[in-house]
């Protein structure tokens, strides 16, 4: 029972990462109509930049600086490469473009920081165990859950309450109409892409505190993130969060019973969901078909 | 019409005489075999991608399964290389046939995602089932056996193996060509052009997507079988989604709408991979990634798409 709780809790943490990644990916898919295979790459970039900056500006500074820089790189990539994809209805092109970019990111990161894993220091205040009664929980893990929950709430508040956020949501529904109403949709798409990559960077910095930094850390996450988006339903932000939590939890619980299947279970869930509910849990008809 | 005969004649002539001219331009036969193997897999995939209009992103599953089928068959059952190839083809094709009903109703990105999911399931099975598949380290310990042709025994060295691969490549390409000129192939293209209208005309679209998926799986299985023999080794990496992405980029790079497009794409992809990795062993991924980006932005219709447009303009 204790082991199950422990694995389930770890799965939940994993799920919050997937949810945060899936949220950014989902935003980019919905407004930019781009399937961003480089999303894991932006996560890695955010993490490594935070690692490099941390000795100068401390953990807390790096926690914000890493994601913001990932967002800036997102804008640059959107302006120089991704924008060529907007006129093309077939999603295969954006998928291949970002796939290529993901390869480049991984290679560049490996060249600059090396292929070996690097440890990411977190403040000792966060590193101490909070509870040892049931199982071992460090404060950092609780902090991660809180930080991701806060980021998610902040994003939803931004999309609901701010003028810019409302325009993003309107653009997701009908970009052409939003454009005719005088909104600068180029800016809208750039900023939206940057928000997505910023969230990925944030996930990267938080993940770096639990795992080691490695150039390939994005590879393992990107596919799970896609699974989360598809399980939740493409086009639904809330669905992405649910999908992420669900597959993380499922992987955790599977680890308790049958560790060898913990990687494969998320794909089985996705296959089952697509058979039972072809558009995912909360997906809408017609997007990307 | 006559132009097509010239083009086909030229392609086959070049492929048949590769042993003569390839060393002159700095190539070697194992590289040529690898090009043919990937070209075959990409041509099979292109049946689905370019001619039926279904974005499969999990073709590596059937490619890898074909390889595992061949490797395991050679390890446990037989010493006949040809039988092992047939076994691998059947394994790949059967898997695609069985999973067809799961994918045939999906469209667009959902088609891509469910094909990826199936591929990843096979990847993790191959990676974890140590006792049977060799796990993460891959399956080694089998090797291609000499061919018994009745009148002679031919050891499959690099040159002989190239012609062995070319033989199966010709069968695969021939099947695809026949198919595309048959009513079945025309139906595939009709589905690509307008799925809904095809449905209104009484075509069972899903059944045809299933057929296309299964045939692509057979071809991928055959290519995977040849790949396993080429390396005398098969690894879970051949099942991984990155491998599927490589096959897709070969088809797109050469030209999804052209019959020979995937071959051109495979020549460029495998060629660059080989060339760059010998000069920049640590950074070849950047070149491949850059190739993806350049291809997608500047040659969305592939290289043969450009050639064709030039010819039309002339």
Tokens of A197: 């990559």
Is B292–A108 a contact, with Cβ atoms under 8 angstroms apart? no
Find the mean pLDDT for residues B233-261.
88
Non-local CB neighbours of A43 within 8 Å, separated by 6+ positions? A21, A70, A200, A201, A203, A204, A207, A217, A218, A221
* Confidence bin at B180 (pLDDT 50/70/90): very high
User: What is the model's pLDDT at position B16?
Assistant: 78
Find the mean pLDDT for residues B84-105.
89
Q: Phi first, then psi: what are they for A277, rounded to 5°?
A: -125, 95
Non-local CB neighbours of A100 within 8 Å, separated by 6+ positions? B249, B288, B289, B290, B291, B292, B293, B296
Beta bridge partners of B154: B147
Find the mean pLDDT for residues B99-119.
84
Q: Answer whether A69 touches B (CB < 8 Å).
A: no
Give the pTM. 0.87
Tokens of B100: 């067809």
Is A85–B296 a contact, with Cβ atoms under 8 angstroms apart? yes
Within 10 A of A157 (CB to CB), how many other CB atoms are there? 11
- The CATH number of whichever domain residue B27 belongs to comes to 1.10.3470
Is B113–A96 a contact, with Cβ atoms under 8 angstroms apart? no
Say if residue B11's pLDDT is above 80. Answer: yes
Helix (H) or strand (E) holding B147: strand B147-148
Number of domains comprising chain B? 1
- Asked which of A167-171, B61-65, B308-312 is least confident by mean pLDDT, the reply is B308-312
**A87-101, B41-55, B128-142, range with greatest mean pLDDT:** B41-55
Q: Which of B296, B299, B300, B301 to mutate to test the interface with A (most CBs of A within 10 A)?
A: B296
A96, A261, A270 ranked by CB distance to B117: nearest: A270
What span, in angstroms and rounded, lies between the C-alpha atoms of A221 and B172? 36
* Confidence bin at B13 (pLDDT 50/70/90): confident
Q: Answer whether B241 touches A (CB < 8 Å).
A: yes
Per residue of chain A (289 residues), give pLDDT as tens. Answer: 677 888 888 888 889 999 999 999 999 988 888 889 899 999 999 999 999 998 898 888 889 999 999 999 999 999 999 888 888 877 888 888 998 999 899 999 999 998 888 888 777 777 776 666 656 667 888 888 999 999 999 999 999 999 999 999 999 888 889 899 988 999 999 999 999 999 999 999 998 888 788 888 888 788 889 899 989 988 888 999 999 999 999 998 888 888 777 788 888 898 888 888 878 888 776 555 5
Tokens of A163: 């003028």
Q: Answer whether B271 touches A (CB < 8 Å).
A: no
**A76-80, B5-9, B189-193, range with greatest mean pLDDT:** A76-80
Where do the domains of chain A lie?
2-118+134-215
Q: Answer whether A259 touches B (CB < 8 Å).
A: no
Find the mean pLDDT for residues B129-145.
78
Say if residue B155's pLDDT is above 90. Answer: no
**B147-206 residues touching A, CB cutoff 8 A:** none
CA-CA distances (angstroms) from residue B201 to B147, B181, B195? 49, 20, 10
What span, in angstroms and rounded, lies between the C-alpha atoms of A239 and A242? 5
User: What is the model's pLDDT at position A131?
Assistant: 63
A261 contacts in B (CB within 8 Å)? Answer: 124, 128
Q: Answer whether B295 touches A (CB < 8 Å).
A: yes
Q: Which domain holds residue B40?
A: 2-313
pLDDT tens digits for B256-301?
A: 888 899 999 999 889 888 888 888 777 778 888 888 898 888 888 8
User: What is the model's pLDDT at position B214?
Assistant: 94
| One-character DSSP codes across B259-274 | SSHHHHHHHHHHHHHH
User: What is the model's pLDDT at position B1?
Assistant: 58
Q: Which of B110, B196, B246, B298 to mutate to test the interface with A (most CBs of A within 10 A)?
A: B110
User: What is the model's pLDDT at position B37?
Assistant: 94
**Distance, in angstroms, between A216 CA and closest chain B CA?**
13
User: What is the model's pLDDT at position B143?
Assistant: 75
């Amino acid at each position: 029972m204790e082991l199950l709780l422990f694995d389930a809790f770890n799965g939940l943490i994993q799920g919050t990462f997937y949810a945060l990644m899936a949220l950014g990916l989902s935003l980019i898919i919905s407004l930019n109509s781009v399937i961003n295979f480089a999303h894991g790459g932006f996560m890695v970039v955010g993490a490594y930049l935070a690692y490099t900056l941390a000795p100068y500006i401390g953990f807390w500074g790096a926690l914000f600086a890493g994601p913001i820089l990932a967002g800036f790189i997102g804008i640059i990539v959107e302006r120089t490469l991704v924008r060529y994809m907007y006129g093309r209805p077939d999603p295969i092109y954006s998928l291949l473009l970002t796939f290529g970019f993901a390869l480049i990111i991984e290679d560049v990161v490996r060249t600059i920081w090396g292929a070996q894993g690097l440890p990411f220091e977190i403040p000792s205040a966060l590193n101490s165990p909070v509870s040892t009664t049931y199982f071992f929980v460090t404060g950092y893990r609780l902090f991660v859950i809180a930080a991701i929950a806060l980021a998610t709430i902040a994003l939803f508040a931004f999309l609901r309450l701010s003028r810019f956020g409302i325009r993003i949501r309107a653009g997701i529904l009908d970009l052409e109409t939003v454009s005719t109403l005088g909104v600068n949709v180029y800016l809208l798409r750039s900023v939206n892409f940057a928000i997505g990559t910023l969230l990925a960077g944030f996930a990267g910095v938080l993940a770096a505190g639990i795992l080691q930094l490695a150039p390939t850390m994005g590879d393992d996450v990107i596919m799970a993130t896609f699974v989360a988006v598809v399980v939740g339903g493409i086009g639904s932000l809330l669905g992405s969060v649910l999908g992420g939590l669900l597959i993380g939890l499922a992987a955790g619980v599977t680890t308790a019973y049958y560790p060898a299947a913990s990687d494969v279970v998320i794909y089985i869930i996705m296959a089952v969901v697509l058979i039972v509910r072809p558009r995912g849990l909360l997906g809408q008809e017609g997007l990307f078909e | 019409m006559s132009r097509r005969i010239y083009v086909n004649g030229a392609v086959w002539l070049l492929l048949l005489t590769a042993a003569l001219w390839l060393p002159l331009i700095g190539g070697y036969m194992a590289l040529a075999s690898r090009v043919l193997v990937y070209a075959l897999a990409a041509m099979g995939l292109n049946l689905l991608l370019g001619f039926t209009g279904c974005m499969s992103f999990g073709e590596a599953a059937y490619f890898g399964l074909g390889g595992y089928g061949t490797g395991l068959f050679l390890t446990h059952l037989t010493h006949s290389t040809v039988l092992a190839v047939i076994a691998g083809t059947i394994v790949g094709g059967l898997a695609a046939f069985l999973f067809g009903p799961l994918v045939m109703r999906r469209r667009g990105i959902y088609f891509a995602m469910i094909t990826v999911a199936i591929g990843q399931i096979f990847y993790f099975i191959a990676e974890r089932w140590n006792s049977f598949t060799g796990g993460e380290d891959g399956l080694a310990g089998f090797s291609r056996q000499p061919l018994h042709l009745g009148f002679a025994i031919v050891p499959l060295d690099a040159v002989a193996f190239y012609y062995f691969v070319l033989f199966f490549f010709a069968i695969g390409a021939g099947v695809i060509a026949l198919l595309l000129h048959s009513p079945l192939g025309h139906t595939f293209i009709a589905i690509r052009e307008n799925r809904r209208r095809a449905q209104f005309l009484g075509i069972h679209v899903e059944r045809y997507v299933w057929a296309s998926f299964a045939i692509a799986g057979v071809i991928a299985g055959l290519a995977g079988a040849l790949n396993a023999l080429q390396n005398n080794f098969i690894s879970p990496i051949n099942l991984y989604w990155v491998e599927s992405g490589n096959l897709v980029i070969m088809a797109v790079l050469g030209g999804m709408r052209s019959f020979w497009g995937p071959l051109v794409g495979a020549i460029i992809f495998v060629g660059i991979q080989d060339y760059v990795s010998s000069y920049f062993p640590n950074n070849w991924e950047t070149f491949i990634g850059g190739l993806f980006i350049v291809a997608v932005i500047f040659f969305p219709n592939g290289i043969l798409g450009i050639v064709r447009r030039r010819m039309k303009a002339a």
